[in-house]
Structure 1
Amino acid sequence: MSLTVFLAVLAAAFLHASWNALLRLGGSKIQAMAMLSCTEIVIGLAIVASRPLPAPGAWKWLAATTVAQVAYKFFLARAYEEGDLSRVYPLARGTAPMLVALVTAVFALDHIAATGYLGIAVLGCGILFMARGVFTDGESRKMLPFAAGSAIATASYTLIDGIGGRVSGDVVAYVGWLLLFSGAGFAGGMVALRGPGLIRGQSARAWLTAGLAATISYIAYAVSIWAMTRAPIALVAVLRETSILFAVLIGWLAFGERMTRAKALAAGLIVAGVVMTRI
């Protein structure tokens, strides 16, 4: 992985943590995710109108990732309704790189050096240690199944989009169609289940926040998929999980969540794992 790709993925990780923090603002997280998805439709339409169509082979991957992305949004929003950013985020994001590495190794999708796998293992230990508070600090465990569902969906769309982006011929267009399909799928599904009142009559500030989160999300994901066309999918997926470190810092500084010694140690393991993936 080149230094340019490395730094680009780190920036994408920070942006990913930032839009998750924006989702934590306000009341219903399902409502916030539905509004974000509505603005994703607008962004997606603007992108696809100015880009050529993806290669024919990309459409099956777009269909598959739409299902995975809609599931991811639902599980993530429900998890945030039950837990803090600094706990949900590590659980939701943390196991995905291990799943991705396992699949890429079994199916020989990419070559990863031994130090890369060792870095993945160290990072995984840091992530698990970061999430331990849900079991030891008396925090709500209701978000566990939703966080697990989000992790599985994350691993699924990471693999799908790593391949889809490579065959699309245009990563920007690919992500534009992804936003359009997944935004329509989630927003339409939630409005059908909960009624149009879910998004009707919301303030301009709420829509501005949703639009900002959607824009940041698009930039972060477009950079990540681009990186997957330049470096092994599993290593990019692992490096993206440094967003966990950013999320913990945002939770501490912006939301007043506790910064304990255990969190600091876990953050150190995460950084060590990232460094090892660069060796």
Structure 2
Amino acid sequence: MTLQAVLIVLTAAVLHALWNAVVKGAPDKAVVLGLVALGHAVPALIALPFIGLPVWAAFPFIIGSTLIHWGYYWFLNTAYKHGDLSVVYPISRGMTPILVTVGAILFAGEFLPPIAWVGIVCISAGIGCLSLVGLGRNTSWVAVAAAFGTGLMIASYSIVDGIGIRLSGNILGYIAALFVAEIFVAGFIFATRWQRFVALPRRYVWAGLTGGVISGLAYGLVLYAKTVAPLGVVSALRESSVIFASLIGVMWFGEGPKSNRLLAATIVAIGIGLLAMTR
């Protein structure tokens, strides 16, 4: 894996942790998730006429990914409603690398060398250290179940988009079309929660829209990386965002305890190093 691809995905990881912190800090998470979806759709809609559409073979993947994202938003909203960022986020992201790697073998015929598997397992293990810190204390089992559901949705759309963008014939066109489709997510949320949107303080409206732009940029970078690197490796590197999210949870939201975070960061860093050496 090239250094450029590694840096692209790690940048996306930092951005991803930031927008999840925006959602966790909002008083009405469902409405803010609608604003995040709108923050995806509007810039993409403006850019699409200049970028052009992907080939028609990519559209079933765009539709499938959009439907899976509906489930992702539902599970994510439920998880953050009942649990801390520093616990929910590691659970939902920690299971993803292995699921995506197995899915890539089954659906894309993508086999990885042993060193890559060791790196992926290290990252998942490091993430697992973070999630175990608060289980049974600050997080309800509803949040845990929703976090697992979120992880399954992440793995599903990661595989669908990884295959779809490779077939698209137009990387930017695929990304833009995928984000434009999220207008339906935003429309549903606002149609069913309009009064809650009106009552939402304006600073959270702007935070949600900004979070959407940040989230779109993060996922766009990940999608590009999937065209030049194996799906499982990209997914594992992306999930290093849990280290950043955990630190945000501790420093921003005052979540605790702080133990085990250095160990988790070290294990994840070893995994990242191993993946960076994958060819």
- Shared fold (TM-score, shorter chain, > 0.5): yes
**Cα RMSD for the two superposed structures:** 1.7
- Indicate if the aligned counterparts of 1:48 and 1:177 stay in contact, CA closer than 8 A: yes
Counterpart in the other structure of 2:100: 100
- Indicate if the aligned counterparts of 1:19 and 1:217 stay in contact, CA closer than 8 A: yes
Going from structure 1 to structure 2, the CA distance change for 1:262 and 1:275 (only over 3 Å counts) comes to same
- Indicate if the aligned counterparts of 2:42 and 2:180 stay in contact, CA closer than 8 A: yes
Counterpart in the other structure of 1:38: 38
Structure 2: how far apart are the matches of 1:34 and 1:28? 10
Secondary structure of the 2:139 match is coil
Match of 1:267 among 252, 265, 268: 265
Q: CA deviation at 1:157?
A: 0.6
- Trace 1:71-150 onto structure 2 (pairs within 5 A): 71-107=71-107, 109-137=109-137, 139-150=139-150
Counterpart in the other structure of 1:67: 67
- Indicate if the aligned counterparts of 2:116 and 2:233 stay in contact, CA closer than 8 A: yes
Going from structure 1 to structure 2, the CA distance change for 1:117 and 1:32 (only over 3 Å counts) comes to same
Runs of at least 5 residues in structure 1 that lack an aligned partner in the other structure: none
- Indicate if the aligned counterparts of 2:21 and 2:85 stay in contact, CA closer than 8 A: yes
1:64 is aligned with what amino acid?
G
- Indicate if the aligned counterparts of 2:82 and 2:139 stay in contact, CA closer than 8 A: no
Q: CA deviation at 1:207?
A: 2.1
- Indicate if the aligned counterparts of 1:61 and 1:161 stay in contact, CA closer than 8 A: yes
Counterpart in the other structure of 1:153: 153
Structure 1: how far apart are the matches of 2:216 and 2:270? 28
Counterpart in the other structure of 1:162: 162
Q: CA deviation at 1:62?
A: 0.3
Structure 2 length-normalised TM: 0.93
Counterpart in the other structure of 1:248: 246
Q: How many residues align?
A: 277
- Indicate if the aligned counterparts of 2:36 and 2:213 stay in contact, CA closer than 8 A: no
Moved more, 237-246 or 29-38: 29-38
Secondary structure of the 2:214 match is helix
Counterpart in the other structure of 2:229: 231
Structure 1: how far apart are the matches of 2:73 and 2:116? 29
Going from structure 1 to structure 2, the CA distance change for 1:174 and 1:62 (only over 3 Å counts) comes to same
Runs of at least 5 residues in structure 2 that lack an aligned partner in the other structure: none
Secondary structure of the 1:54 match is coil
- Indicate if the aligned counterparts of 1:40 and 1:214 stay in contact, CA closer than 8 A: yes
Q: CA deviation at 1:211?
A: 1.5
Identity across the alignment (%): 31
Secondary structure of the 2:252 match is helix
For 1:14-51, what per-residue CA distance to the aligned partner results, in whole angstroms no more than 9, with x for missing partners? 00001111111221211211122233321221121321
For 1:138-193, what per-residue CA distance to the aligned partner results, in whole angstroms no more than 9, with x for missing partners? 53222012111110110011001111111112222212111121x2232233345x
- Indicate if the aligned counterparts of 1:171 and 1:222 stay in contact, CA closer than 8 A: no
- Indicate if the aligned counterparts of 2:85 and 2:246 stay in contact, CA closer than 8 A: yes
